Copies of this chain bind each other. A is one copy, B any other.
Amino acid sequence: MNHTFPLYLHYRQRLAKSDLFKTLSIDTLDDMLKNFRFETWKKGSQHDSKLALQRFYVIVEGRMELIRINPETGKAFTLMILKEGDVYDVLSLLDSREHDVIPVALDDLKLLSAPMSRVRDWVHKHPEFNQNMMPYLSQCIRVREEIATDLALHDTPTRLARVILRYIPVDSSQHQADEIKAELLHDLSNEQLAQLVGSVRQVVNSHLGKMKKEGLIHMDHHQIVVDDLQRLRIKAEAIHGLLQ
């Protein structure tokens, strides 16, 4: 990306706010940006996981779903939703192997992508970049472990509550806001929610209905709004600190 690119400063700023690229100097960012190119992925488009063997993507706007599919049954499971500042794919970056996960654009996605080999060089060349990797990778491990544990130890209504909690802004638990929006889940169909919970649409449908009746949540413009965080946390069995 050339510094004459129309939104150059805007995207540099976005990059500077992302977990992996924060704390890097402006000079380093400018140097890195030369290797990035701007891409858009159309809402709903699915991409080939082999892409990530060649290029490394930083999300600068929109959401990306990572989906796994059982080829025997066609059943889908949404591992997670990546948001602005997240990267795809950190696994292929680390070990140069394909990561068997399908990236899907949940919105019109804006991305910066750079050659994978170049990003690998940066890990060695820039200690700050390497240092940013550690807590980011730790978070990658923790999230997957939480998802596995949820599936092994909790029933569907509990998992649904936990998924909603996972996707509300992190500072919501500190501030006792009146309305907490699960922004990252906006516009998802119940089918998509079910794929995140590891269940089926009909079951998620019914549990969402119950949670609305109980006054825990309501819907506003295709978005889940949490009305009673404390009781939602009790439903999620998150009162023992299982979720932060």
A contact residues vs B (CB 8 Å cutoff): 68-73, 75, 77, 79, 90-91, 94-95, 97, 99-101, 123-124, 127, 130-131, 134-135, 137-142, 144-145, 147-149, 151-154, 198, 237, 240-242
Contact = CB atoms under 8 A, between A and B. Distances in A.
A148 to B, nearest CB: 4
Number of copies: 2
A99 B242 CA distance: 10
Contact of A91 (B131, B142, B237): B142
A122 to B, nearest CB: 13
Contacts of A75: 153
A131 B77 CA distance: 32
B138 A91 contact: yes
A151 B70 contact: no
A95 B147 contact: no
A198 B151 contact: yes
Main secondary structure of the interface of A (DSSP, over half): helix
Contacts of A71: 237, 240, 242
Nearest to A155: B73
19 contacts: A68-B149, A68-B153, A70-B154, A71-B237, A71-B240, A77-B148, A77-B149, A79-B149, A90-B141, A91-B141, A91-B142, A94-B135, A95-B138, A95-B139, A97-B138, A99-B142, A124-B131, A148-B148, A151-B151
A134 B94 contact: yes
Contacts of A91: 138, 141-142
B148 A70 contact: no
A32 B216 CA distance: 53
Contact of A124 (B127, B149, B198): B127
Given A79-B148, A198-B151, A237 B72 contact: yes
B153 A152 contact: no
Given A77-B152, A198-B152, A137 B144 contact: no
A95 B148 contact: no
Nearest to A75: B153
Given A79-B148, A94-B134, A97-B138, 6 more contacts: A68-B149, A90-B141, A100-B241, A144-B147, A151-B152, A152-B198
Nearest to A95: B138
